[in-house]
Structure 1
């Protein structure tokens, strides 16, 4: 998200007449700060005297979040009851969709992405590949590379969680053992390792034959991999 759109969003959401109050801006920003574990400069109201207005406070707070997180936050703020009578909100939502490509037929859930980025923050190798995959998918390019990046991200995460450098396929048994030690049910352990088996097979097959990948399949793969990553981090991290 470029700075001009961020300024535009802050101006509308923090507008004196039709926007959020200063206390509401602080309240909501603190909520997102806690949700995504992101530090923000203006968490209390009244804001410091060196802050000219609430729009500036909102803008500076939003700058601290990732692009995906900002998009999700702005979309949620637009849906607040106190914003429903502001005609500028519709314009903001339209511009947000145009700039972020969220009007495409298949778009990965922004909230899932934002939460996954939060969970991966302590695993930089996995996070880097994950963000590369999302960028390629949202730009509608390099579908096979997107799948490669998602697999590599999952592989790096599991390596870090297990403390070894084995391949994804060769870590399935150790992963199952670690999950068992955490009292994860046998049915769920089997589901996790089976998902990884099919994911590897799916990715390897498309690489081998250089096939195009259906966009809806790729979207689903990103979302279930994101959910799996969150589970593994919460369980083993």
Structure 2
């Protein structure tokens, strides 16, 4: 269940006076979902009645008419509208939604969406790496180009490391600098050793199965995606 408090917050963010949805768009989107889900909404027309205080109230009351699962889909899709692509408040709203209520997601996506969205959030200051990460995600979700997916992931991590460590080394040559970076940012000796070893195996995996043999095990793509996401999120957060 999505608490009413979160629905209220959602309506305030998505219906914000200057950068949020207009009253007409609120009616357009809510009415479309009402038809899709066969739900009656209290405000299906625009202009709104004179006793309605504002468009945020209309959005809140319309959203409240849907089931939690339907609310999850609607809020997530509204957050993904092109007009919100640079809106930090909306991006934060989406992260909260999928982190707290992802059990309502019935799409059956294979990768942990909270991890993906959180990683994209941390990559926002590294646009080149984020672009490669998004390209890999698009290919993965389309169930195509497994090798290219992993190539993009590897390069996304490599580009990020070059930015964080201030050098131009390839991934396999970053083990020493990465260890130093983790240690200098508060990592314990055990964590440094573990992280460097994992990154070493990660690099060797790509060299063996991707760069040389072109033989991708499809079932392994998901875990490589989540591992790369965890690597990048960790490295940015400790910096």
Q: State the superposition RMSD in angstroms.
A: 3.7
Counterpart check, 1:53 vs 2:58 = yes
Equivalence for 2:97: 73
- Residues 24 and 230 of structure 1, relative CA distance in 2, 3 Å threshold: closer
CA distance in 1, matches of 2:115, 2:142: 18
Question: Offset of 1:74 from its aligned partner?
Answer: 7.0
1:118 pairs with one of 95, 118, 121: 121
Deviations 1:190-216 (A, max 9, x none): 11111111111111112311113232x
CA distance in 1, matches of 2:102, 2:235: 33
Give unmatched runs, 5+ long, in structure 2: 22-51, 64-74
Residues matched between the structures, number: 184
Greater displacement, 48-57 / 150-159? 48-57
Map 1:1-237 to 2 at 5 A: 24-28=6-10, 41=20, 49=54, 53-54=58-59, 63=81, 64=84, 73=97, 97=107, 102=108, 107-206=110-209, 207-215=211-219, 217-236=220-239
- Residues 174 and 198 of structure 1, relative CA distance in 2, 3 Å threshold: same
Check whether the contact 1:29–1:61 (CA below 8 A) recurs between aligned residues. Answer: no
Question: Offset of 1:71 from its aligned partner?
Answer: 9.7
Check whether the contact 2:124–2:130 (CA below 8 A) recurs between aligned residues. Answer: yes
Check whether the contact 1:136–1:146 (CA below 8 A) recurs between aligned residues. Answer: yes
Question: Offset of 1:146 from its aligned partner?
Answer: 0.8
Structure 2 length normalisation: TM-score? 0.63
CA distance in 2, matches of 1:198, 1:30: 46
CA distance in 2, matches of 1:158, 1:172: 10
CA distance in 2, matches of 1:225, 1:151: 8
Give unmatched runs, 5+ long, in structure 1: 1-12, 14-18, 33-39, 81-92
